[in-house]
A and B are shown apart, each in its own frame.
Chain A
Amino acid sequence: MAEAESKEALETKLVDKVGEAISAIADAKHVDQVISAVHSVALLLFPVDPTTRIGEKVSSSLVPCAKDERSDWSQTFYRGVAFPTFARVLLLDVASDWLSCFPVSVQKHLYDSFFLDGPVVEVVQVLVPFLHHVDKNSSVDANSVQTNVERLLILCLLENAGVLKMTKEIGDYYQGDSSRNGNLKPLLSRLSQILTSIPDKARLKSPPLLSSHLYFKHITNQLLQILDDRASCNEANSTDIVLSFVGEMFSRICRRGLSDLLLSEVTPHVLAHVRRLLNSNKGSVEIESFQLDPTSQIWLKTVEAVTDPYAVEKMAEQLLHQLYAEHASDVEAFWTIWTLFHRNVKHQASVRSIFVDKFLLWKVFPIRCLRWILQFSVLECPPVTNTLAKGDITQGLLETTQRIASVWSKGEFLQSVPLEQQAYITAALGLCLENMSREELDRKKDVMHNILQGVSCRLENPGDLVRKMASSIAFMFSKVIDPKNLLYLDDSFTGNAIDWESELQTAVGGVRSITSSRENGDGETKTSASLTEGNDSSGRNKQKKDRKSKDIANFVLADPDEIVDLATLNCGTESDKDDDNASVSSDNSSVTSLEPYDLLDDDKDLGKQFTHLVDVVGALRKTNDADGVEKAIYVAEKLVRASPDELTHIAGDFARILVQVRCSDITVEGEEDSAEEKRQRALIALLVTRPFESLETLNSVLYSPNVDVSQRIMILDVMSEAARELANTRTLKPKHQARGPLISNISDPQPWYLPSDASTPWKKVEETASFHLNWANRYERELQPKPGQKMKGKTRRWSLRSGDRDQSSTDWSQNRFPLYAAAFMLPAMKEFDKKRHGVDLLGRDFVVLGKLVHMLGVCMQCASMHPEASALALSLLDMLQRREVCNHPEAYVRRAVLFAASSVLIALHPSYIVSALAEGNFELARALEWIRTWALQVADSDIDRDCYSMALSCLQLHAEMALQTSRALESAGGKSSSSMGPMNISLPSGISKLTSFKLPSSNVLL
């Protein structure tokens, strides 16, 4: 009681003292007065260095000298109201008005000591609120106040290891009086809240040390230091409370979004410890050694103290990433994760579900992390060297496998999840399967069913990678079912195990790099892919075949059995002569030495036996004569390209038969691709040479029930290729087909009727100029330069007009496609949505739909800037706007639609849009506007990365198109107003109305 009384008295005294000092400061006219006032208080609390006393008027009346007394004073000062009150004055008034005048030493030893020498717990609580104390009305200079507070915080917390001190103080409290323990929890949480909020409260201009990155780095280091200290000295009492404080700090740091920073410090720390432990145990790792290890226990408790599930998740996630970055081995990683999380996982269902559900099904980690996750949370036993090890308890594995498999098998999952995640989950499923036995698989019937379902729905996907996933899983599955009879769905893959990392995840990465190319490139990559897609993994087959053919070549080149006879090499002719010499006298002996030439014979050149298309068609019909069909396919393109007259009549038939030929039936294994390619080339040639006839057939075949999906795809592929070729043919055609002279031979190619002494051949001058110039044939030749003559031009000509020779002698054929555009596009678009026998584009045959849309896009591009494009664009856009098409669940179709929409944007001539607007045809504007909104929508929400990037480039094209159109619109408007005559009449007020309400929006909307 007396103690309490004396304390009270002390406090009153202190408050009085502080009050005096405050009023002195308030009244101060000179800095010395302020210093002395502050000093008077400081003297009570700290052993102040007398040299700092600058003011002379120090009242020496109250000089507590005893150390004990001073600590009493100090305790009372900081615990009570005195400190907050005085701090307020120090931080506001002194800091803003006087501090800049303080000498450096005074500031350091007198002013700062109030904050640095006191208990951090209290100081921080006082300091932090002033960080953003902005009182507009007061006369205080906010800037200097805040700068000062920031400086003090840095000094207090970071440079003087404030957090470390703080935990000591907390421990002291804890030990000091247990009655306060009830208050401790809220205090700790308040403290941690204050500590972690500092970077947020700090101003933008605050020193870099207070920026969240550096600040939390320091704080984290201090926290780690604390943990280490606690691990080394085992004072159990306060440890728990300290650890819970640290845990609270961790969770708050994670909440602030700095889990990466936190774990980038924590992970190496723990990892180093784990490595140390592993090394000391020389490989023989037992759970006990970790369980008993004090550091591990400290960590366990700390992480257990992190009660916020969000923080736990973030920490675990970052831990995995950090371990990956640190190149931890499987064993090290396992023990690191184990050290931090095993108790959480065991005791908290939510944490467990983070690992088993979230990390497996929702997040995407590198495959190595996936292995750790599986090992830790599913297999639940330490790994053996670097392979996944299976414990005794397999229930978890079974359940997880079942869960993954059921997710994996769903078609919607395939459609709605980005490729990376698909690859990730596929790998997870594969790794799970790897660790299962047949009996275990049999126990869960669903798994088998789900896997088969998933494989089958993936195998018909157009994406190479998706098919690869299917084949990988199928392989793993077959390995579980029957290890001796492995199922290879993929030709290129022949190994015994699958490297999930390189097979799937890096491949996904590869896809990313390709699709980031621009729109134009996109079209090309797509088509190059389209052919291969059509052929069902032909690329790989091609590789294989290349390998084969190379082998053959090598074999031929290095025939080990061949006998090299040097004599024959060197004196072959001589021996011949000798031979014949001798033969005159005695023929028998001589003949023996006739040296044979190389007798190697192959039948490469014998393929071209068909010389008439009719024969080819006939041969193709005889499907039982595989050789004949093959040969016919091989020559078909050449014959078609020759474009004989008969082609017109048989083009339709021919196209139909080419579509129906089954390349796989007629060719030997491994040769299908070349035949397939030849067949497609022939079809392309047919489409190019006789578009109308062959298109009629192809379009009728396209939706007929007696072709299958692959044939439909092939037809569409071929059509797009043909469209491209038609659009790009810029062949140089000689206008006159030069008739060769009647008689010629190889040594002298020059016609007889030309001067024979010419050193260079004569050429007829081709002239197609006006009629009167063309009265006679003229010939020209190049003269060889005389010695010493300067070459001025390359040739000399004697002709009246030689300037236009290049133009007249050759015929630049231009884009021929627009003529046929309608024939290409309209029939295919007409009934695409009709569900017929064997045809269901909107549903099952989405690949065909994608191809169709892509083909239409290609057609648009090929017809671009031609009037036909404008005519066809509307109907194409109509088709694209169908909800079933543009919002198709398959990304493949959406990609195609984006491509087609972009093609439309490219293909439309701005002037056409202008004229459409001028005519009041707003349908087009609406359709174009739809493209924009839809592309925006895709860019916003599509899960497919390709779709996203394509949508972006589509938007870009849209913007360009809008710009061009608005320019054209302006110029058209200007013309209409300036020019006289019919123009003015034909563009009535509508145009001005149009521009007035359309133009502002057209920049954005069109």
Chain B
Amino acid sequence: MSKRPPPDPVAVLRGHRHSVMDVSFHPSKSLLFTGSADGELRIWDTIQHRTVSSAWAHSRANGVLAVAASPWLGENKVISQGRDGTVKCWDIEDGGLSRDPLLVLNTSAYHFCKFSLVKKPKTSLKEAEGQSNNHDEQDVEDKRNAQCTDGSVGSVGDSDLLQVTDGDHAESATYVAVAGEEPTEVEIWDLNTRSKIIQLPQATPDESASASTKERGMCMAVQLFSPPESQGFLHVLAGYEDGSTLLWDIRNPKIPLTSVKFHSEPVLSLCVASSCDGGISGGADDKIVMYNINHSTGSLTLRKEIILERPGISGTSIRPDGKIAATAGWDHRVRVYNYRKGSPLAILKYHGATCNAVSYSPDCELMASASEDATVALWKLYPPHKSL
């Protein structure tokens, strides 16, 4: 064969006893966070490939749904979401988790939608911290009925709170988007105040218009980001059960900026590139969709549609440099695409069960994939050239 065979993982991290639900790199250190369906949160050393620590972050019955870390949270914080209706923020001390969470958000949400931290363009990050690595948000997963009422009714007053100014990032970036107690809604919580700030669509007492939006079904995936064009105001991308994707500007919580339907089945995963001008989404159908976000018109446009042999994408991720993207498939495969062109680059066969999540390290060197077979695989594909 003239072509190179697809590579094997450079390392396989074993230790979880249940399906690994989510995986996330530390923004600066060589650490990897993984959460499994039995509630265990593990921290791995990505150089030594060893477990650094392990803790029961959530109850065994409910398990960890998502984990994430972000530069805006600080070096020593990691957030986990369980299916027990809580989002917990942990302190990483001496390589281990703190005995008790720093804070607990009782979202009372018991769905499968993974939460989302704020994603900001690289430039703003650089300016803010002088530190290059931005955090690659994890695949966003199922979200139960976030019923988005199109209804335009609602106050606009809260929007100030949600402005993420460049200068004030550390404070203002501590928002978390998550499908709410009512799974058709998206809620945004402030980690600092531990309180819910807004819900999308904003509840309106009168609405009959909600009837139309109910057809969208549950919110299955959510992505929170702060595009540079919006003066730091947060935007939310949410995928719904009927396959439609909605873009919200927080300043207008009643009506989404746009609504498109790229998928024919529930949208399971959304990822926005770190430049915030586009993203990738996967769902239960046999499509992977790449799209552009036009902030000036507030619209989503289809850029590339990839048809798969076997349906089901549960996780997507775009490398921070925006060159390649990866998807985690129900068919046990991790697929790697050229993000710019949308052409396939590799089909990685290692996992023996459904893949739940993929994630890129902030330095673009590593990719981690988490699977139901209780393993986490580390891959090195197309390593970026380290230029000084």
Contact = CB atoms under 8 A, between A and B. Distances in A.
A791 interface: no
B60 interface: no
Given A592-B341, A746-B12, A564 B2 contact: yes
Contacts of A595: 4, 345
Contacts of B349: 601, 605
B345 A596 contact: yes
Contacts of B49: 745-747
B323 interface: yes
A596 B331 contact: no
A854 B382 CA distance: 63
Contact of B1 (A562, A580, A742, A748): A562
A568 B323 contact: no
Interface string B1-25: 1111111000111110000000000
A598 B14 contact: no
Nearest to B321: A583
Interface in A517-541: none
Given A605-B349, A746-B49, A594 B333 contact: no
B378 to A, nearest CB: 10
Nearest to B323: A591
B382 A580 contact: yes
A591 B15 contact: no
Interface in A579-617: 579-581, 583-584, 587-588, 590-592, 594-601, 603, 605-606, 608
A590 B54 CA distance: 41
Contacts of B6: 597-598
A599 B50 contact: no
Nearest to A572: B4
B83 to A, nearest CB: 21
A1 interface: no
A233 interface: no
Nearest to B339: A591
Interface in A37-83: none
B54 A591 contact: no
A576 B383 CA distance: 8
Contacts of B341: 591-592
A292 interface: no
B11 A587 contact: no
Contacts of A587: 322-323, 340
Contact of A748 (B50, B352, B383): B50
A608 B332 CA distance: 11
B292 interface: no
Contacts of B345: 594-597
B386 to A, nearest CB: 9
Contacts of B331: 603, 606
Contacts of B332: 605-606
A577 B385 contact: yes
A569 B4 CA distance: 7
A744 interface: yes
Nearest to B384: A580
A563 B2 contact: yes
Interface string B371-388: 000000000001111010
B128 interface: no
Given A568-B2, A597-B5, A747-B48, A603 B340 contact: no
B13 A746 contact: yes
Nearest to A606: B331
Interface residues of A, number: 38
A594 B382 contact: yes
B324 interface: yes
Interface string A144-157: 00000000000000
Contacts of B7: 597
Interface in B37-84: 44, 48-51, 54
B93 interface: no
B123 to A, nearest CB: 14
Contacts of A579: 385
Contacts of A569: 2, 4
Contacts of A576: 382-383, 385
B15 A743 contact: yes
A565 interface: yes
Nearest to A609: B353
Q: Which of A569, A583, A746 lies at the interface centre, i.e. has the most chain B CB atoms within 10 A of its CB?
A: A746
Contacts of A601: 309, 333, 347, 349
B387 A584 contact: yes
Nearest to B322: A587
Q: Which of A594, A603, A742 lies at the interface centre, i.e. has the most chain B CB atoms within 10 A of its CB?
A: A594
Contacts of B382: 576, 580, 594
A605 B352 CA distance: 8
Contacts of B387: 581, 584
Given A594-B345, A594-B382, A565 B13 contact: no
A600 B384 CA distance: 25
Given A576-B382, A745-B49, A596 B323 contact: no
A598 B2 CA distance: 8
Contact of A583 (B4, B323, B344, B347): B323
A94 B298 CA distance: 145
A597 B323 contact: no
Nearest to B53: A743
A599 B340 contact: no
B218 to A, nearest CB: 25
A580 B385 contact: yes
Interface in B340-360: 340-341, 343-347, 349, 352
Nearest to A588: B340
A598 B6 CA distance: 6
B345 to A, nearest CB: 4
Interface string A239-255: 00000000000000000
Nearest to A578: B385
A799 B333 CA distance: 48
A561 to B, nearest CB: 11
Contacts of B346: 596-597, 599
A746 B340 contact: no
B204 interface: no
A590 B324 CA distance: 12
A599 B344 contact: yes
A276 B47 CA distance: 94
B323 A594 contact: yes
B343 A598 contact: no
B338 interface: yes
Interface in B103-130: none
A744 B17 CA distance: 12
B14 A565 contact: no
Given A564-B2, A603-B331, A745 B13 contact: yes
B194 interface: no
A38 to B, nearest CB: 105
Q: Which of A579, A599, A742 lies at the interface centre, i.e. has the most chain B CB atoms within 10 A of its CB?
A: A599
Contacts of A599: 3, 344, 346-347
A595 to B, nearest CB: 8
B14 A597 contact: no
Nearest to A582: B385
A744 B14 contact: yes
Given A597-B347, A599-B344, A745-B49, 19 more contacts: A564-B2, A568-B4, A581-B385, A591-B338, A596-B344, A596-B345, A597-B5, A599-B346, A601-B309, A603-B309, A603-B331, A605-B349, A606-B332, A743-B51, A745-B15, A745-B48, A746-B11, A746-B14, A747-B49
Closest 10 CB pairs of A and B: A580-B385, A598-B3, A564-B2, A597-B346, A591-B340, A743-B51, A597-B6, A596-B345, A745-B49, A601-B347
24 contacts: A562-B1, A568-B2, A569-B4, A576-B383, A576-B385, A583-B321, A584-B385, A587-B340, A588-B340, A591-B323, A591-B338, A591-B339, A594-B324, A597-B345, A598-B5, A601-B333, A601-B349, A605-B349, A744-B15, A745-B48, A745-B49, A746-B12, A746-B49, A747-B11
Interface of B: 1-7, 11-15, 44, 48-51, 54, 309-310, 321-324, 331-333, 338-341, 343-347, 349, 352, 382-385, 387
